[in-house]
Structure 1
Amino acid sequence: MPGRRRPLIVAAPDSFKGSCSAAIAAQAMLEGARSVFGDDADYLALPLADGGEGTLDAMLAAWGQEPRQVQTTDALGRPRRARYGLSRDRGTAIIEAAEANGLPWVADQPLQPLDADTAGVGTIALAALADGADALLLCIGGSATSDGGVGLLTALGARFLDAQGAQVRPGARGLADVVRIDVDGLDARARDAGWRIAVDVDNPLCGPRGAAAVFGPQKGADAAAIAVIDAGLLHLAEVLAQTVGIDPGALLRRPGLGGAGGMALAAVALLGAETVAGSDLVGEAIGVRSAMLGASLVLTGEGQLDSQSLGGKVVDLVRREAPTGTPIVVIAGTVRLSAAECREAGITAAFSIADGPATLDELVADAPRRIAETAAHGCALLTAALRER
């Protein structure tokens, strides 16, 4: 209408894991929005990430840098090439742990939740340190491992020893055997570097909301393995606390240490690593709040909208940073929050891309089209309200 400001439609999703990247999802959302608003609106794609899959790409895009590559190992110790990134001044490195220990790289084998380890992540960190980085941003989502970060610190030179003075077995299987931790050989660059670990959940290390109970099943852990992992992480936390002279409760109560099989645990205790919400880290680098200023509608989404989405993931970032009063529409593969829960969280509406009976493979294969169609439906419902803004 003459005299009215053109609406700005912002698409700020996470990736739809296993289906499409955040960039593809954002473009699909804007395609759906354009089918409703046409040339009478402005559009902004703002792909985001929460510390898991896609975080490396989001940060490299924000820095205007290309990824570097290093030879490392996957969660089962097999060779693979992994990417990492450096800031423009080469002082800060971004490491996506799943480039080494991610679930996709071991999908060709039966999952081995007690044996998978994080040593390959340490190899990437050493390469970044050799490149001159003195600050490391480690993003830990999407892991196949539950070793409390023992493999990571072992690759950096620490030794986790059993009662006979031998290095314990890799993975969660060896955690209960740790009696002493020798840090004399720890890489000096790693010891001196500033570590920030991006987590995408607020779960504690152990217990019913801990690493084993909540995330163990997706790594292949049955009830018996979950019990072994949970007990092993508890024991490791106690030995780490004794090693550095702190109360074990400081580790056991710390939010976020349950993410990625407790990968941050050893680095927090031995390297003084700081844990940060991965979505906040990306949001700060990209400038999400300023980018969304003036937005008339914000479209966001991820593979599954549930209670975890509101605890540090991309949807949580968007609802906190979007301008007050701006409608927020979530598009997801699955919506597990009620309408009342969405309203309470500040979400205007949430829609699933499943528009009828379909297998998971069918949803994955057709995700961009379904995201676009769902975005169009959501935008159509809000058209009248936007015209009044």
Structure 2
Amino acid sequence: MTIRVTVMEENLRPGFERLLIEAWGQTWSADYAVDLIRWRYYERAALGQTWVAIDGTSCVAILDSYLRPYLLNGSRVLVREPCDWFCLPEYRPRGVGVLLMKRLMDCDEPMLSIGGTPPTLAILPRLRWTRLPEVTKLVLPLRVRDFAATALRKWWPAQEPLARLVPGKIPYRWPKRPIRPHEAAHVVEWTPGTPLPVLRGAQDGLVELIEQADADWIAGMPRWLAQAVGLVFFLGEEPVGFTLSQIEPSAAGLDACLVHVQLSDHAQPLVNWIIAETASNLAARGVGIIRCLASSPSKIAALEMAGFFRTTPRPSYWWQRDREPAPTQLDAGYLRADDAVPLAALRGRHLGAPPARAGRADRSAASTSRPR
């Protein structure tokens, strides 16, 4: 039967949602799946486009994308961020997944990919994507229990709950003390729905931006998934930085992710203060480990000074249909696509849990979702 490739429409939602749950490797209840799909796909603030491959009446492959603002050498541009690229194994030899990516590559906007599975990293160079600077993952483990849980999640995910056997009060390390760059430096917690500070300092290369709608959308994620924490940094009355983090329930306690750091000035003492102050704020909220992605030298230096250490770097790739020169510098983190959605922590919380309940398990998220 002929494979049909199309942009996802409302009548395709039931099959799309069943395939998406398989792609996620769902271990949680159907209630959670309904809420997550609704927030993640149908309520998201960023523009986006989801391609699906249909065989008869069955959805056999999906590829989603976000459309988000960046600065490219100082000018605001929209960049497409691919994610949730999944194809049923029996359709992969027929090139169905690659066909979806080629459709997405025909869009007008440039595209940015960070990390991915080994097959993804093997395919993108063959599709003539350009390699960009690597993005570094850094972690700050505050407690031994959470450090052990993170290791188990990576290597033996079904055993992550065993980390609870480690006493929760054994410290591992603590964020370095924040040093204010000026006596007028202070920080204010951001309230979702209130205006973000306007911070667009001059910087070469490709720079990730967060704008109001996306910040409010992240702050509106289901509370069982994560809770957003925004901090605005001032020198006197002038805002000079903004960080958006999230606190995520895990099998061992609370994880934290430093999702985004936006700056108007990259002076190293200022960046050091903003990073260390954010890490200290998260530690005071009871988290056991903090993770972050960074690619700019000033942010990586500040994270290491605050006590973070580097783990495996993530390759990044760039596609532009008109083949304009790729950016030579990159400042990006967890804000890209759905990289901040803590699916791994969610799986760990529910591995070994009883099977999903009946009732809503058979109900499509589309039936309770408002269209975007």
In which range does the TM-score fall when normalised by the shorter chain? under 0.3
**Quick check: which has more Rg, 1 or 2?**
1
Greater share of residues in strand: 2
TM-score, structure 1 as length reference = 0.25
